[in-house]
């Protein structure tokens, strides 16, 4: 069964948080939409669960050096997009587990930043089906569980409330990398920033020209069902 197609505007929330597994995940799936929300006045912040310490083809590389470089690249990409703040949880790349510790960390930042809208990975119907990176699936699941009900409920992680934080209810979740996405965003105005942010991840970009060409073709394929020249797509949950 195909999802109903809806063409919408980027979220107009005053505060947006993105929770992603790896430093270059948001560029792949939601940076065009995010850039346009930021241009419309949203304050966006990014929480990265890992620092991508295994993101290299060099078997002799030091994972700590890889992570440091990728954090620097993520910071530059965020600057280009207009993201206000980036935080790293520094879980091991490829080894993210759905634990109370991870959920508590996400709850802490949700209660600190207090977003109206959260972007994260679709953990239940991920794209690509069956072969989606496990860090993506685990991060999405932990984030959704942190949003509902943990961040909202005062008896969840009460030790945080003792430090002055208070419960927080997120209004909507935009799931990216979703195999059942039905909400489409026209990203023509944000596409150049999406590409610029992705190219800031220099260590992950052997051929910048080929990347830009292939990503433009992919954005066109995503937009085709909705009749959009360049698009990103999401499954949207109203919480």
Say if residues 221 and 227 touch (Cβ distance below 8 Å): no
Q: pTM value? A: 0.97
Which residue bears the tokens 């990398």? 177
Q: Residue 2: what pLDDT?
A: 64
pLDDT, the chain, mean: 97
Which residue bears the tokens 């792949």? 28
Q: Is 54 helix (H, G, I), strand (E, B) or coil?
A: coil
**CA angle (232, 121, 119) in 5-degree steps:** 70
Q: Residue 3: what pLDDT?
A: 76
Say if residues 120 and 139 touch (Cβ distance below 8 Å): yes
Q: What percent of the chain has pLDDT over 90?
A: 98
Question: How is residue 194 written in tokens?
Answer: 């999406």
Domains of the chain plus CATH, in order, are 6-238 (3.40.50.10320)
Question: Does residue 195 register a pLDDT over 60?
Answer: yes
**Residue 92: its H or E element:** none
Q: What is the pLDDT of residues 26-68, one digit of tens each?
A: 999 999 999 999 999 999 999 999 999 999 999 999 999 999 9
Q: What is the pLDDT of residues 141-150, one digit of tens each?
A: 999 999 999 9
Q: Residue 134: what pLDDT?
A: 98
Q: What is the pLDDT of residues 125-168, one digit of tens each?
A: 999 999 999 999 999 999 999 999 999 999 999 999 999 999 99
């Amino acid at each position: 069964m195909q999802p109903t197609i809806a063409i919408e505007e980027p979220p107009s929330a005053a505060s947006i948080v993105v929770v992603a597994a790896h430093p270059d995940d948001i560029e792949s799936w939601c940076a065009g939409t995010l850039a346009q929300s930021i241009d419309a006045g949203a304050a966006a912040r990014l929480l990265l669960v890992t620092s991508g310490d295994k993101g290299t083809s060099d078997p002799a590389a030091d994972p700590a050096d890889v992570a440091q470089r990728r954090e620097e690249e993520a910071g530059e990409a965020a600057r280009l997009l207009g993201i206000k703040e980036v935080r790293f949880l520094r879980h091991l790349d490829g080894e993210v587990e759905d634990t109370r510790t991870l959920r508590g960390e996400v709850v802490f930042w949700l209660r600190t930043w207090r977003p109206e809208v959260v972007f994260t990975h679709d953990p239940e119907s991920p794209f690509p089906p069956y072969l989606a990176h496990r860090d993506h699936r685990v991060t999405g699941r932990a984030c959704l569980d942190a949003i509902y009900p943990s961040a909202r409920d005062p008896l969840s992680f009460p030790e945080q409330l003792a430090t002055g934080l208070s419960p927080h209810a997120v209004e909507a979740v935009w799931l990216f990398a979703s195999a059942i996405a039905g909400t489409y965003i026209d990203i023509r105005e944000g596409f150049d920033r999406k590409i610029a942010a992705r190219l800031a991840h220099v260590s992950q970009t052997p051929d910048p020209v080929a990347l830009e060409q292939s990503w433009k073709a992919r954005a066109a394929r995503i937009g085709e069902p909705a009749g959009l020249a360049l698009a990103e797509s999401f499954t949207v949950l109203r919480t």
